[in-house]
Chains A and B, each alone.
Chain A
Amino acid sequence: DCHKRNQLPIVPITPIPAYSIMETPALKKELKRFGVRPLPKRQMVLKLKEIFQYTHQIMSSDSEDEIPA
């Protein structure tokens, strides 16, 4: 894993969209992109955050990291 980590390219990380302040129809639309049915609003926000976090994990954020300057 460690060697793999250094081979990955450094890319810009998209900031997380402001799901918490999105309107219900917008949340539904976002979730639809991921094949998820409309849910209670709070649950939609949580699910979108979960998806975003899962698909935007940063390698160097956990343990022994050398962040290049």
Chain B
Amino acid sequence: MAAPQRLGRKKPVPSCPNPLFVQWLTEWRDEAAEKGKKTQFVYQRALGSLRRYPLPLRSGREAAILQHFGDGICRRLDERLERHRAEQGADAGFEAVAGASPSRVGQESDAPS
């Protein structure tokens, strides 16, 4: 017996909720690979879990809940994010990183110009 099924229009979810983090980790992985460094595998594993995570992340720190994300990667992401915000100006702030995330109350998105 089937439970009464709810019908509705599903709001489309971004297929890549964290494009910048994916981009940066990919860059770092490739850099490490070029230099023949073992850290390429660390970045590779981190990319694997990041790609499976459907929610937009607001910081590198928040990414610490993901598998294969250690302190080092989280810190590096935060540093890179700060630089990105500084380059883009305050406007680009968070939306650019995360894609629009619903019902989130403002993060401090002021970047030095």
Query: Which residues of A approach B to under 8 Å, CB–CB?
Result: 5, 8-13, 15, 32-37, 39, 47, 50-51, 54-61
Contact = CB atoms under 8 A, between A and B. Distances in A.
B15 to A, nearest CB: 11
Interface stretch (B33-41, B44-52, B75-83, B88-96): B44-52
Interface of B: 3, 5-13, 48-55, 65-67, 69, 102
Contacts of A58: 8-11
Contacts of A15: 3, 6
B11 A57 contact: yes
- Say whether chain A's binding surface is mostly helix, strand, loop, or mixed: mixed
Given A15-B6, A47-B65, A35 B13 contact: no
Given A13-B8, A58-B8, A61-B8, A34 B52 contact: yes
